[in-house]
Structure 1
Amino acid sequence: MTTCLRLLFLTAIVALCSCSGGTQSLLPKSGGRPYEVLLVASDSRCAAVVDSVLTQDMPSLPQSEPMFDVSQIDSTRFNQTTRLARCIVIVTVNPTVFTSTRIRYEKNVWARPQLVVYVNTPSAAQLGMYMSKAGNRLTGLLTRAEINTAISVLRAGSNRKAEANIKSMFGCDMLIPADMKASKKGHNFIWLSDNGADRMRSICVYSYSGSTLDANRAVAMRDSVMKANIPGETDGMYMQTTPGSVTAGLTKEKDRTVMISRGLWEMRNDAMGGPFVSLSTVDSVNSRVIVAEAFVYAPGISKRNLLRSAEAALYTLNSNKGSRGNDKSR
């Protein structure tokens, strides 16, 4: 190859990497289903410890379902094919190198999107003590990676009409799954659904007056809003929160404090029901609380992935301060 051609070739490679996001853009597409984890560990006791954390029940579902589906392999079988998994947890036991258990992670190591979590520990006993106290850090990392992947899918194609309605009503930006084409509007309320025959995912956005995030008031307002806007087939049927099912906590999202609530819903005087998750945020400019909620109805089948896929949209809610929309909060 002549010097001139070699320079042209190198220039083309640099341009390709620059335009498409660097060397990571050359990585193959990762494989695996949502909330599926490949666990790589040679020590069977350590593998059992981590597996028990990953397969614990997902909270606030009407039946037992694991947080993740786990496949285990020995480190000797971790090769070019298995490295393409979307979520990988690699456990390394070495008492001469590690004095305590630590977790670190990397993104897009062998494929994209991909999260690789390294769990380094001196012993199975030490790992067990660590996981009993901080196992939620591991599950949190993996859950967030899956949510971010789902959000990327939403960004690639979403329901622009529904998003425009939310913007008009609440002054908020939010991504809505493209297949949620059915909708119903109410006072400070919109319900969007994919209207599935045997499994249905729905998202509601509503608001109420207030300047604080209070879990008890949130449940009371939810019941009021759902009773008014989601009736059943006959009089006396309406959606309500299953008593005692709700857990709620405050967390940070996009440098703001939000309340995440999880629980069960049921249709009063009917046999329908299922899980829900909601994100509540204070719009201090307009003295109101804005709630984005996802719920599913899927009798007789697993609900984890259905709920999680709809839940991802909630984290895209972005209240534009100073914009009131067209409606006034109650």
Structure 2
Amino acid sequence: MNKAHFLFLFISFYFFSCAKKNDDLPRKTTGKINSISVIIDDQLWNGEIGDSIRNKFAAPVIGLPQEEPLFTINQYPVKLMEGFMTDSRNIIVVKKGGKNKFVIKKDQYAAPQNVFHITGKTADAILTIIQNNTSEIIKIIRQTEIDEIQRLNKKSLLDPKTVNNKFHISVDIPSSYEYMVQGDNFIWLKKEIVSGNTSLLIYQVPIESIKNKDNLVSNIIKMRDSIGRLYIHGKEPDTDMITEEAYSPYFFKIKLDEKVAYEMKGTWELKNDFMSGPFINYAIIDEINDRVLVLEGFCYSPSKEKRDMMLELEAIVKSVAVGKK
């Protein structure tokens, strides 16, 4: 074998190996935030099984002023399983088969991806599997969407020094946000969008403000309303931001950065004004630093749906890591 022939074979093998290696890499998932591709034949989709899927995965999102579905559902027949919908981040495959089973496959066709396989011998068996696994499916999908938002946010972040130095925390805030107000223990950041704006508040109060109180919900509402009186107003006098009184906010005890935190979702309004919108408030009990660290997101976008905006704010807040002073 002469040198030229050997070199040709070597180069051919090299490019073949590179191409094979690239083929082995998973494709990147596509699609909008909070979307699910449901792979199910029309006969099942147009009956009781389809109704169950819609009722559970397109149920109204809590804490929004107008009704919006938990997820946007796109349905495709099973025979169209191959193709663009396999690049979706979240796929639910429903079909009849010889066994009753529920299987979760990660990154089956692309990455990051969840594929939930639901197979039942009968329609009743499928309904039972859906009923028993809805909570887990929703939890996994929501976390995947938050992870995806956080991944995208990391591509262009706001300089962290101001927030880090003031509160001794790290939080991934996109560079699209700008500082509006800064106080000793308070920061307000805002992002302008076509239909309005989204805001992020970071502040701290003494731990006694809410700890060991009989009514945590009432005390957190009083805390956020006091911040509104100090920093957030409309154009006219006596138009402070307050928690809307007509509806009780949703309240949950959670863990955030391995610390006890209280999550509140509800609606804000400007007193004596027409402006309003949804908010999410996270009060983190920071025992080491003897404080309650609060991160809150809210938006004003009267002409647009707000589900995805609020999840983006939630993803920012949940990137927080609390340090020591």
Alignment TM class, shorter chain as reference? 0.7 to 0.9
Shift of 1:300: 2.1
Partner residue, 2:52: 49
CA distance 1:9–1:297, change in 2 (3 Å): same
Contact kept? 1:263, 1:275, Cα under 8 Å: yes
Partner residue, 1:327: none
Partner residue, 1:205: 202
Alignment of 1:31-70 (within 5 A): 31-42=30-41, 43-44=44-45, 45-70=48-73
Partner residue, 2:142: 143
Equivalent-residue separation in structure 2 for 1:38 and 1:295 (angstroms)? 29
Which deviates the most, 302-311 or 204-213? 204-213
Partner residue, 2:124: 125
Equivalent-residue separation in structure 2 for 1:127 and 1:223 (angstroms)? 47
Alignment of 1:167-178 (within 5 A): 167-178=164-175
CA RMSD of aligned residues (A): 2.8
Equivalent-residue separation in structure 1 for 2:167 and 2:257 (angstroms)? 18
Q: Deviations over 1:59-90 (max 9, x none)?
A: 11111111111111111111132211222111
Shift of 1:309: 1.5
Partner residue, 2:106: 107
- What code does the residue aligned with 2:177 have? M
CA distance 1:34–1:6, change in 2 (3 Å): same
Alignment of 1:308-327 (within 5 A): 308-320=311-323, 322-323=324-325
The yes-or-no answer on 1:301 pairing with 2:304 is: yes
Partner residue, 1:225: 227
Point out the structure with max Rg over C-alpha.
2
Which deviates the most, 175-184 or 294-303? 175-184
Which deviates the most, 32-41 or 196-205? 196-205
- Can you give the 5+ residue segments of structure 1 that lack an aligned partner in the other structure? 324-330
Q: Deviations over 1:267-319 (max 9, x none)?
A: 00100000011222111111111111111100122111122122210110111
Which deviates the most, 81-90 or 288-297? 81-90
- Can you give the 5+ residue segments of structure 2 that lack an aligned partner in the other structure? none
CA distance 1:133–1:107, change in 2 (3 Å): closer
Equivalent-residue separation in structure 2 for 1:227 and 1:12 (angstroms)? 65
Partner residue, 2:181: 184
Partner residue, 1:5: 10
- What code does the residue aligned with 1:142 have? I
Equivalent-residue separation in structure 2 for 1:170 and 1:144 (angstroms)? 26
CA distance 1:122–1:169, change in 2 (3 Å): farther
Match of 1:261 among 250, 264, 273: 264
Shift of 1:249: 0.7
Match of 1:242 among 234, 241, 244: 244
Contact kept? 2:259, 2:285, Cα under 8 Å: no
Q: Percent identity?
A: 21
- What code does the residue aligned with 2:145 have? E
SS in 2 for 1:56: coil
> What TM-score do the two structures reach when normalised by structure 1?
0.84
Contact kept? 1:278, 1:314, Cα under 8 Å: no
Shift of 1:192: 0.4
Equivalent-residue separation in structure 1 for 2:20 and 2:194 (angstroms)? 49
Equivalent-residue separation in structure 2 for 1:191 and 1:121 (angstroms)? 51
Contact kept? 2:154, 2:174, Cα under 8 Å: no
- What code does the residue aligned with 2:188 have? W
Contact kept? 1:49, 1:127, Cα under 8 Å: no
Shift of 1:180: 0.7
